[in-house]
Amino acid sequence: MSDAAQPTAAEVRAAAEAVKAALDRHLAAVENRTGEDDPAVYEAFNALAVAAEVYDERLYDRYDEVTPFEIPGADDSLPPYAGPDEPNALSVLIRRDYAVVEPQRLLAQAQRIADADPDDGPEDSEIVGASVHAALGVLFGEYEPDEIASRHKEFGLEEGDSTLWVSAADEVSEPGEWLSAPFEQADAQRVICRFDVSAVFDEDDLGEGLDLDEVRR
């Protein structure tokens, strides 16, 4: 890492202060928990994990030092890899969650797509403009998933968690072989790597003065 890219001493100090504040919030949430599954404790735990990870990263980048903190990651939930050492094929499994936060924007975008398609009749166009279910079908039929992910706000959607699994396979499946149940045979022991994005690691949880990109594990 170049000197220009290193965090400043003030940024490291701010990250340390964020850990202290997160510790206090976590202890207060535990002391005042209302039950075994109190969401306040869960949120405080995640905020503390994020703050500790940021501090650990900035401490290392600035001073080449580490902390004793061990932040649980998505890979910790996977069993030991039991697939082939040299896979001949692979499968990429993707899940992305969205919330429909602006239905009218979604309906308007889908209506525009339907109106531009001369193959759709007037009745089909009217259904699209009045049904979120139909509008989603038009939207995902028109655009690739990656384009929807990059333009989700235009379509009235809000991103939730997402995950991508790269899984080893013995050979490429025959055409149409698994289409009826595409995720049924996903084997966690054959996952080579996975990448997760979650609001749990959002920078808003860190407070002012800290800058954190989405955490991918």
Range scoring the smallest mean pLDDT among 57-66, 81-90, 110-119: 110-119
What is the pLDDT averaged over residues 152-171? 91
Q: Closest Cα to residue 136, out of 182, 145, 93?
A: 145
What is the pLDDT averaged over residues 99-118? 89
Per DSSP, the three-state class of 168 is strand
The confidence band for 10, taking pLDDT boundaries of 50, 70 and 90, is very high
What is the pLDDT averaged over residues 58-70? 85
- State pLDDT tens for residues 184-202: 878 888 998 888 888 765 5
Residue 45 clears pLDDT 90, i.e. is over it: no
Query: How far is Cα 156 from Cα 154, in angstroms, rounded to an integer?
Result: 6
The pTM assigned to this predicted structure is 0.54
The domains of the chain are located at 3-71, 79-98+160-217, 102-155
Phi, psi (degrees; rounded to nearest 5) at 93: -105, 125
Query: How far is Cα 165 from Cα 32, in angstroms, rounded to an integer?
Result: 38
Q: Closest Cα to residue 124, out of 107, 108, 111, 140?
A: 111
